[in-house]
Chains A and B, each alone.
Chain A
Amino acid sequence: MNNDEKIRKYLDGELTGEELINFETEINNSQELKNLVDSYRNTLNQFKKIENVDVEESYFVNIVPRFREKSEIKKQVRFKPVFTYGSISLVIVSVLLIFLFNKDYNVTNGNFISINQVSSEEINSYFNANPQVYDEFQLTRNIPAEYDSVFGSIVLSELDVDNNSKKYLLGITDTEFNNILDEISNVDAENIYSSLISKKIY
């Protein structure tokens, strides 16, 4: 047992019998040890003195009433955070739902129509009924033969364009289309093709 442990035990009253007698003998034989033990004891006595200090009577009398008052106020305002969090959650859910619906549906004249609901028969009958609208062949006939199938597929199948956009695309005249193609170099065309096939377009 080291000296610190002996001093602590001695001050805590844990030394008994022979241990106690031996340590008291040590203290009596060493002024340094005696001073050390006395200084520790003095510290403890000072702190023991502040165990009971008089305070304003009203303070302890009012602790419970103040607690009751505070807890009543808390009960009254507890509704507010619930309402706030509820409103925020509602807004977030609404925004998410709108976002999810917008992903699958296109807006035409204010009505929601799923692009998946339009069959190829309906598309064909639309083109047949509207001969003034350019068909798939007309749209892609000036594109080199090896790109025809790819562009046709991109324009009419892979791109989920709405009817207005489709009308715009199909409404481009031969001359306009040729002008656009004339301005595109072979390198540019390759680049456009490469970027188009590597891009997922919604």
Chain B
Amino acid sequence: MTENENDVNLIERFNNGDESAFNEIAKKYQQRIYWHARRMTGNHLDADEIVQEVLLVMYRKIKTFNFRSSLYTWIYTITTTRSINFIKRRSLKQAFSLHDVENDQKSETDVITDLESKEEVKRLENFLQYIPAKQREVFILRAIDGLSYKEISEITGRSEGGLKSNYFHALRKLTEMMKNE
């Protein structure tokens, strides 16, 4: 059974009332959701909040999934949209906030076990936060998740030409920042 067939089977089971099928779908995609959200937001707590939001949306909307795209494209679409919305909300919050206590707490909380990896991830996540969210999104999907421009276009609804341009701008900015580190 291919991955797609397996997804179709899980969705059909869930639509027929098998709640455990949703658990299987969630377990299958939770890491991809988490890591995308984490790279977009730059910290564990925000990513965790997005994961829970995405699962809730999936749970409510999976009955309307029409199999026009693959399930992972659909889940990525929800994840990217939720992440961008979350970042917008967070920026607004930060604009009106006088204290940075919450951010301090966020940077302290993490689930990465290896100390060296933790520092490296933090360093790179920090660089990512300095580029615009739309460029960051494309860069993560292309450079880290290894998706094709066609797949990214399906997920984001943007043209491949625009995505390529965004990707290269992001790469150039990140390279410059790393040089000046």
Contact of A67 with B143 at beta-carbon distance under 8 Å, contacts A40-B175, A54-B117, A59-B111 already known: no
A39 within 8 A of B: yes
Top 9 nearest A-B pairs by Cβ distance? A55-B111, A59-B111, A8-B168, A56-B111, A43-B175, A67-B55, A64-B26, A53-B117, A63-B30
Interface residues on B, range: 20 to 34
Q: Does B52 lie within 8 Å of A66, measured CB to CB?
A: yes
28 A-B pairs in the complex with CB atoms less than 8 angstroms apart = A4-B172, A5-B168, A8-B167, A8-B168, A8-B171, A11-B171, A12-B164, A42-B178, A46-B124, A47-B124, A47-B144, A47-B174, A50-B121, A51-B146, A53-B112, A53-B114, A53-B121, A54-B112, A54-B117, A56-B111, A60-B27, A63-B26, A63-B51, A63-B55, A67-B26, A67-B52, A67-B59, A68-B23
Binding site for B on A (CB under 8 A): 4-5, 7-8, 11-12, 39-40, 42-44, 46-51, 53-56, 59-60, 63-64, 66-68, 70-71
Distance in angstroms from A39 CB to nearest chain B CB is 5
B179 within 8 A of A: yes
B120 within 8 A of A: yes
Q: Which residues of B have CB within 8 Å of A66?
A: 52
Distance in angstroms from B79 CB to nearest chain A CB is 13
List 14 other contacts, CB 8 Å, given A39-B178, A54-B112, A63-B26. A43-B171, A43-B175, A46-B124, A47-B143, A50-B117, A50-B144, A51-B146, A53-B121, A54-B113, A54-B114, A56-B113, A64-B27, A64-B30, A67-B26
Cα of A54 to Cα of B26 in the assembled complex, Å: 19
Q: Does A4 lie within 8 Å of B168, measured CB to CB?
A: yes
Q: Does A71 lie within 8 Å of B144, measured CB to CB?
A: no
Q: Does B144 lie within 8 Å of A43, measured CB to CB?
A: no
Q: Does B56 lie within 8 Å of A67, measured CB to CB?
A: yes
Q: Which residues of B have CB within 8 Å of A4?
A: 168, 172
Distance in angstroms from A6 CB to nearest chain B CB is 11
Binding site for A on B (CB under 8 A): 23, 26-27, 30-31, 34, 51-52, 55-56, 59, 111-114, 117, 120-121, 124, 139, 143-146, 164, 167-168, 171-172, 174-175, 178-179
Closest to B178 in A: A43
Q: Does A43 lie within 8 Å of B174, measured CB to CB?
A: yes
Q: Does B164 lie within 8 Å of A8, measured CB to CB?
A: yes
Which of B34, B121, B175 has the most A CB atoms < 10 Å from its CB? B175
Distance in angstroms from B76 CB to nearest chain A CB is 15
Distance in angstroms from B52 CB to nearest chain A CB is 6
Cα of A64 to Cα of B34 in the assembled complex, Å: 12
Distance in angstroms from A57 CB to nearest chain B CB is 9
Q: Does A49 lie within 8 Å of B120, measured CB to CB?
A: yes
Q: Does A60 lie within 8 Å of B30, measured CB to CB?
A: yes
